[in-house]
Structure 1
Amino acid sequence: MLDANLRQQLQAYMANIREPIELVMSLDEGAKSAELKGLLEEIASLSDKVDLLVGDDARKPSFLIRRKGTDIAVRFAGIPMGHEFTSLVLALLQVGGHPSKAAQELIEQVRNLDGDFEFETYFSLSCQNCPDVVQALNLMAVLNPRIKHTAIDGALFQDEVSARKVMAVPTIFLNGETFGQGRMELEQIVARIDTAAEARTAARIAAKEPFDVLVVGGGPAGAASAIYAARKGIRTGIAAERFGGQVLDTMAIENFISVPHTEGPKLAAQLEQHVKDYDVDVMNLQRAETLIPARTEGGLHEVKLASGASLKARTVILSTGARWRQMNVPGEDEYRNKGVTYCPHCDGPLFKGKRVAVIGGGNSGVEAAIDLAGIVAHVTLIEYDSQLRADAVLQRKLASLPNVKVITSALTTEVRGDGEKLTSLTYKDRNHDTVHEIALEGIFVQIGLVPNTEWLKDAIALSNRGEIEVDHRGETSQRGIFAAGDCTTVPYKQIVIAMGEGSKAALSAFDYLIRLPAEQDTLAA
């Protein structure tokens, strides 16, 4: 299964295995079992510290990676290629004794967790958010013998997916009960189990001295702001609900100048590492709830966090980004992750052979319909306008697909279901005011973005669309408070533009600080 280059890379990685490991495969007579057996035989041939054994787990095909003579193990049900190949490599290394790069404090927190935790994660090979969850839970299973984890390819175990009503990935079960859905990092998972962790973190944050520049948000704009501020040698902090922001949910990135192709999670990891290369106090998993501007020029602004802690700073850069826009129709919230989803790359494989709809006729919507047409039985694309707004090349491709129907001048009015999963949607024909119902099993919403600024409405000026109003320097209506990225009125929501605006905001914040009266100047030496 592995080409020569990948085989050579894997062999080099496996040289880092310190403790002997066993690959225990459970197979049936199917083609996928034969494929998995071939992969495991190839892996075992690359290191004399790897033995291949036969087991009999109920899930077939599956395999256990176990440290020889111990209970330290993780299990994959399926063939972890695609986005999950990195998860496979890390599992081999970590079960084999190679140390993790996670923060030592977090590692000790996992080791000290008290209780028996059996996790199961349903993933798809095309999901760019799934590997973070799989890798985090695998590491926890390696660090703590009372934690077990099985990663399950939902496309191969459709009966389980149906029985457990899994309609979005990643979906995590803990001890048989739903634990969470969507991207989760190691810190988030541990924090949900270790209930005292949030209070400890809040206490540490509350004790921090004021910053010269506090960046709120960890996407491209926030990362650029933090780097440019730190390079000026001033005290810089960054508080982010999730570092990387919406970039984490982006599949292919092909317009980032000088980088022909990358993927969102990879770029997000590079952004975070670049920030950490500087003297920046990174506070991840921190959601801002209130902004209190300084009462006087040069005074301290305050940002209150959901954890109860507060941060103070002489300048603030708001880079809170945006999120997927919802349809805001009856039934949408009720059937979210029960058929209503926002990520065709992640969740598309779960709808193999089913009928789905895509809402939105821009580039994102048409690209989603094209991708889904190769997986599902039929796609209905619904567009509010009288014509599609996607690029002509995408529209031509869409028109060539036999299992796609396009409906324009249509307003989605309701999502319907049976209480457990969605069964149809209704829309109004805007030309004739008639209402129609379409029977389907999935809806992929692709209608643009809404800024994450609701918490700022009483603190600074916002546009009628909720965007932060900024001037040519990135400054808001409040002196000393700046903003950058998709949450602002700056047009064209692009990664490269957000980075430029973040850099500009940091330079503007520094310029503001150095022009304060001498008695107010607290810049770091």
Structure 2
Amino acid sequence: MLDTQLQTQLSAYLEKLTKPIELVANLDDSSASNEVRQLLGQIAALSDKVSVVEEKRADFRQPSFLITPQGERHGPRFAGSPLGHEFTSLVLALLQTGGHPSKESQALLEQIKQLPDELHFETYYSLSCHNCPDVVQALNLLAILNPRIHHTAIDGGKFQQEISDRNIMGVPAVFLNGESFGHGRMTLAEIVNKVDSGAAARQAQSLSEQAPFDVLIIGSGPAGAAAAVYTARKGIRTGLLGERFGGQVLDTVDIENYISVPKTEGSRLATALRTHVEDYQVDVIDAQQAVQLTPAQERGGLHQLHTASGAILSAKSIILATGARWRNMGVPGEEEYRTRGVTYCPHCDGPLFKGKRVAVVGGGNSGVEAAIDLAGLVEHVTLLEFADVLKADQVLQTKLRSLPNVEVIVNAHTQEVLGDGQQVSGLVWKDRLTDTLHTLPLAGIFVQIGLLPNTTWLGEQIARNKMGEIIVDSRGETNQPGIFAAGDCTTVPYKQIIIASGEGAKAALSAFDYLIRTE
């Protein structure tokens, strides 16, 4: 199961264990159980603090195994082999169960320990999903810290019948006490706040009581992270507020054009960004959504930011780095069948459509790349492009057209998503040349039609163009003195990670210059 290199790396990690742990395996004689048996044996052979115990219980999935302190019976459980993207989740679960501390804030860890209710979480993941590990790791940590909380991470590829029975069309899919809890990426703070009913109000009150920031950065993607590092290095009081650290980078699989880093993954880059920010005195405020910005009434006054939780924060200067989100088709049925056949991540959800017919909407680079990836998994892919030609790079188009199970349709205007009330069953599109309507029977629709800036919450006081992008000058300043913007939410062309980072640094230097001249 584990090659020599992985075993060497894992052996080094297991040296960090401070207390013995048991891997309690619920196995049978199937090939899947034998794979897990082999994996656990390899892990136990690498450390004298790890032992394996086998049992057969009808109330747990087979194959599955519990990671628990020795002599106890609580902690995270994996159903299936946690390899692929989930191998990191397995390593973290081993380390944290064995006493290695989490890097999360002490306040959040204490909040988890105090949760009073008995909670049973189940998370379905796919081994190719790059969004799943964050959710699995967050829920594993809950189960490690609080014996009243239970979590099972389930490989959807090994338990296909459950995927079908629960109509799961996108991962990660989380269930709490048997009921749907959430789909897609969620941070630890978001999960805790969702199950702790009073958490949002307490946090809002605490945030509102904070002293004004010199600069408050809204958005914690590459632009926001770069801005935070630059302002903190100037020695000014910096706050960094965001819904999820890393932003859209977390939804990116491979990154090969970030200069000096030949290749990395989005989740890895997001972790590196956070680590860099936390090297400085930055007040990182996670899982908070900005809903209103009130500019200062006079130059040098305080701007106010309102959050969805009810918090009100004040700052002498603001940097807007709210990024962008996937553009929706805006057709009937799209919202109704989101996560039930309508999806935006081919890497995460592609394996769930194995052997089925799907469509990709969008003929740019992302759409064509999605169709190429999916063609190796599904029965057939239909790519629909609104324009009369594909917009993707020629090398991608050549590869796409060489695939026998892909059909390309141009001049196609998507009209409606069809479904049976539970999941997607088809897509209606109109030929723009003939106005003829066509219906495609299919099981999944992958939407890849570009991005929209996250700026609708700003209202009319911050000038934006017709696309919703914040209008900035060469210094990153908006039409409001003391309010700057950077990254994909602005009019700066070419939405690239490296450009967003540079624009974040520029906005930070401009904000600092504004502060010293104003004061």
Question: TM-score by structure 1 length?
Answer: 0.97
For residues 322-370 of structure 1, the C-alpha deviation after alignment (integer angstroms, 9 at most, x for no partner) is 0000000000000000100001111111111111110000000011011
In structure 2, the residue corresponding to 1:102 is in which secondary structure? coil
- Please report how far the alpha carbon of residue 16 of structure 1 lies from its aligned counterpart in structure 2 after TM superposition: 2.1
In structure 1, the residue corresponding to 2:503 is in which secondary structure? helix
Q: What letter is aligned with 2:360?
A: V
Pairing 1:115-126 to 2, within 5 Å after superposition: 115-126=117-128
Indicate the residue corresponding to 1:497 in structure 2: 499
Select which of 123, 141, 144 maps to 1:142: 144
Relative distance call for 1:217 and 1:101 in structure 2 (3 A) is same
In structure 2, the residue corresponding to 1:515 is in which secondary structure? helix
Pairing 1:93-242 to 2, within 5 Å after superposition: 93-242=95-244
Q: What letter is aligned with 1:18?
A: T
Pairing 1:355-370 to 2, within 5 Å after superposition: 355-370=357-372
Indicate the residue corresponding to 2:5 in structure 1: 5
Q: What letter is aligned with 2:34?
A: A
- Please report how far the alpha carbon of residue 54 of structure 1 lies from its aligned counterpart in structure 2 after TM superposition: 2.0
Indicate the residue corresponding to 2:508 in structure 1: 506
Q: Establish whether residue 34 from structure 1 lines up as the match of residue 34 from structure 2.
A: yes
Contact 2:28 2:56 in 1 (8 A): no
Distance 1:30 1:392 in 2: 47
For residues 410-464 of structure 1, the C-alpha deviation after alignment (integer angstroms, 9 at most, x for no partner) is 0010000011101000000111111000000000000000000001132211100
Q: What letter is aligned with 1:303?
A: L
Distance 1:14 1:479 in 2: 53
Distance 1:172 1:503 in 2: 37
Indicate the residue corresponding to 2:305 in structure 1: 303
Distance 2:123 2:343 in 1: 18
Q: What letter is aligned with 1:17?
A: L
- Taking only aligned residues, the RMSD between alpha carbons, in angstroms, comes to 1.2
Q: What letter is aligned with 1:4?
A: T
Distance 2:380 2:25 in 1: 36
- Please report how far the alpha carbon of residue 17 of structure 1 lies from its aligned counterpart in structure 2 after TM superposition: 2.2
For residues 150-183 of structure 1, the C-alpha deviation after alignment (integer angstroms, 9 at most, x for no partner) is 0001111110001011111111111101111111
Distance 1:56 1:434 in 2: 59
Indicate the residue corresponding to 1:485 in structure 2: 487
Indicate the residue corresponding to 1:384 in structure 2: 386
Contact 2:472 2:491 in 1 (8 A): yes
In structure 1, the residue corresponding to 2:316 is in which secondary structure? strand
Contact 2:323 2:454 in 1 (8 A): yes
In structure 1, the residue corresponding to 2:225 is in which secondary structure? helix
Distance 1:110 1:289 in 2: 27
Distance 2:18 2:388 in 1: 63
Distance 1:125 1:510 in 2: 45
Question: TM-score by structure 2 length?
Answer: 0.98
In structure 1, the residue corresponding to 2:129 is in which secondary structure? coil
Contact 2:204 2:309 in 1 (8 A): yes
Indicate the residue corresponding to 1:339 in structure 2: 341
In structure 1, the residue corresponding to 2:143 is in which secondary structure? helix
Deviation larger for 1-10 or 11-20: 11-20
Q: What letter is aligned with 1:479?
A: P
- Please report how far the alpha carbon of residue 26 of structure 1 lies from its aligned counterpart in structure 2 after TM superposition: 2.9
In structure 2, the residue corresponding to 1:277 is in which secondary structure? coil
Distance 2:284 2:148 in 1: 30
- Please report how far the alpha carbon of residue 56 of structure 1 lies from its aligned counterpart in structure 2 after TM superposition: 2.1
Q: What letter is aligned with 2:44?
A: A
- Please report how far the alpha carbon of residue 33 of structure 1 lies from its aligned counterpart in structure 2 after TM superposition: 2.6
Select which of 285, 288, 295 maps to 2:287: 285
Runs of 4+ more than 4 Å apart? none
Distance 1:407 1:49 in 2: 58
Contact 1:19 1:97 in 2 (8 A): yes
Distance 1:417 1:200 in 2: 41
Contact 2:190 2:287 in 1 (8 A): yes
In structure 1, the residue corresponding to 2:82 is in which secondary structure? coil
Deviation larger for 50-59 or 129-138: 50-59
Indicate the residue corresponding to 1:325 in structure 2: 327
Indicate the residue corresponding to 1:43 in structure 2: 43
Distance 1:186 1:47 in 2: 29
Distance 1:101 1:501 in 2: 29
Distance 1:358 1:140 in 2: 37
Distance 1:89 1:408 in 2: 46
Distance 2:76 2:414 in 1: 44
Indicate the residue corresponding to 1:22 in structure 2: 22
Contact 2:207 2:311 in 1 (8 A): yes
Distance 1:238 1:442 in 2: 37
Q: What letter is aligned with 1:34?
A: N
Q: What letter is aligned with 1:50?
A: V
Q: How many residues align?
A: 517
Contact 2:419 2:425 in 1 (8 A): yes
Indicate the residue corresponding to 1:452 in structure 2: 454
Contact 2:170 2:349 in 1 (8 A): yes
- Please report how far the alpha carbon of residue 231 of structure 1 lies from its aligned counterpart in structure 2 after TM superposition: 1.0
- Please report how far the alpha carbon of residue 29 of structure 1 lies from its aligned counterpart in structure 2 after TM superposition: 4.1
In structure 2, the residue corresponding to 1:178 is in which secondary structure? strand
Distance 2:490 2:201 in 1: 32
Contact 2:187 2:287 in 1 (8 A): no
Q: Identity of counterpart residues, as a percentage?
A: 64
Deviation larger for 44-53 or 378-387: 44-53
Q: What letter is aligned with 2:13?
A: Y
- Please report how far the alpha carbon of residue 50 of structure 1 lies from its aligned counterpart in structure 2 after TM superposition: 2.0
Contact 1:454 1:466 in 2 (8 A): yes
Q: What are the ranges of 5 or more consecutive residues in structure 2 without an aligned counterpart?
A: none
Distance 1:32 1:394 in 2: 37
Indicate the residue corresponding to 2:471 in structure 1: 469
Deviation larger for 305-314 or 18-27: 18-27
Contact 1:329 1:415 in 2 (8 A): yes
Distance 1:167 1:56 in 2: 31
Distance 2:376 2:27 in 1: 28
Q: Establish whether residue 397 from structure 1 lines up as the match of residue 385 from structure 2.
A: no
Contact 1:124 1:347 in 2 (8 A): yes
Indicate the residue corresponding to 1:348 in structure 2: 350
Q: What letter is aligned with 2:227?
A: S
In structure 1, the residue corresponding to 2:515 is in which secondary structure? helix
- Please report how far the alpha carbon of residue 59 of structure 1 lies from its aligned counterpart in structure 2 after TM superposition: 2.0
Q: What letter is aligned with 2:278?
A: K
Contact 1:72 1:95 in 2 (8 A): no
Contact 2:80 2:155 in 1 (8 A): yes
In structure 1, the residue corresponding to 2:88 is in which secondary structure? helix
In structure 2, the residue corresponding to 1:126 is in which secondary structure? coil
